[in-house]
């Protein structure tokens, strides 16, 4: 557990520094309220209307694809860590991962062919 002490000290320091900066600027900095300063910045676009416009379902499809390959990346990491340890079983391990990725790749090809990746 003690190896995390440094992490916690780091977290504590980061929080303190962040909080200190905010508090200091709050008390030390000059403040002028009102006028154009109060309007939200929207990268040059007039901030008009509701921010909650319905998203297109395509975002969701991209999200699903992202999750699928995120999970794959996590499994790949584990796989890479133990691969060297079991070199005598290397071909078998390779086959396992190839099958796993193959099935997901199939899903990717399917999404591609169905036009789920097209944006128009």
Partner 1 sequence: MEAMTLPDLRELIPEATISISALIAILVGALARNYSSARRIAPAVALIGLVAAVPLMFAVPHATTVPTARFEGVFVADAFAVCLKLLFSAVGVIATLVSVNFLEAERQANGEYYGLLLLAVVGMMLTASARDVVLLFLGLEVLSLSTYVLVGYLRKDPHSTESAIKYFLLSSFATALLLYGLSLLYGISGGTSYAAIRAAGAHLSGDLRLVAMLSVVFLTAGIGFKATLVPFHMYAPDVYQGAPGCVAAFLAVGPKLAAFGALIRLLVEAMPGFASEWVPLLTVVSILTMTIGNLVALSQSNVKRMLAYSSIAHAGYMLIGIVAAFTPGVTADVRSQALAAVVYYLVAYTFMKMGAFGILLSIKPGDRFAETLDDLRGLGRRRPLAAALLLVFLLSLIGIPLTAGFTAKFYVFSSAISAGCYTLAIAGILNAVVAATYYSRIAIALYAVEPGRGEPYAAGGISLKVALAASAIAILLLGIFPGRVLETALQSVRSLF
Partner 2 sequence: MTSVWPLLLYYLLPLVGLWTYRRGGRTGTLAAGISWFLAAVALGVVIGDARSFAVISFYLLSLVAVMTAFLVVTGTNPVYGALSLIGTFTGIAGVFVVLQCEFFGIVQVILYAGAILVLYLFVVMMVDLPKENAQKRGGVRGIAAIATGLGLLALVVKALAPLGMRLQPAAGASAEPYSVRAVGTALFGPYLVPFEVASLLLLVALVGAIVLSGRERES
Of residues 25-84, which lie at the interface with partner 2 (CB under 8 A)? 52-61, 63-68, 70-71, 74-75, 77-79, 81-82
**Residue 2 backbone dihedrals phi, psi, to 5 degrees:** -65, -20
Total count of residues recorded for the chain = 120
Distance CA 81, CA 71 (A): 16
Q: What residue 94 binds from partner 1, partner 2, none (CB within 5 to 8 A, per partner kind)?
A: none
Q: Residue 104, Cα to own-chain centre: how many angstroms?
A: 20
* DSSP character at residue 53: P
When computed from its CA atoms, the radius of gyration of the chain, rounded to whole angstroms, is 25
Distance CA 68, CA 61 (A): 11
Quote the least distance from Cβ 110 to partner 1, whole Å: 5
Q: Which string of x and - marks every residue 72-101 that binds partner 1 (by CB under 8 A)?
A: -------------xx--x--x---------
Quote the least distance from Cβ 111 to partner 1, whole Å: 9
Q: What residue 57 binds from partner 1, partner 2, none (CB within 5 to 8 A, per partner kind)?
A: partner 2
Q: What residue 109 binds from partner 2, partner 1, none (CB within 5 to 8 A, per partner kind)?
A: partner 1
- Name the nearest CA neighbour of 68 among 12, 34, 21, 106: 106
Binding region for partner 1 (CB under 8 A): 85-86, 89, 92, 103, 106, 109-110, 113-114
């Amino acid at each position: 557990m003690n190896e995390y002490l440094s992490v916690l000290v780091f977290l504590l320091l980061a929080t303190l520094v962040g909080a200190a900066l905010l508090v200091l600027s709050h008390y030390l900095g000059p403040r002028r309220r009102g006028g154009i300063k109060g309007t939200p910045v929207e990268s040059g676009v007039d901030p008009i209307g509701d921010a909650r416009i319905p998203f297109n379902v395509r975002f969701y499809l991209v999200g699903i694809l992202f999750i699928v390959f995120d999970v794959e990346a996590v499994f790949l990491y584990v796989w890479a860590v133990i691969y060297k340890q079991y070199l005598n079983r290397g071909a078998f391990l390779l086959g396992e991962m190839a099958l796993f990725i193959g099935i997901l790749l199939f899903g990717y090809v399917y999404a591609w062919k169905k036009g789920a990746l097209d944006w128009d």
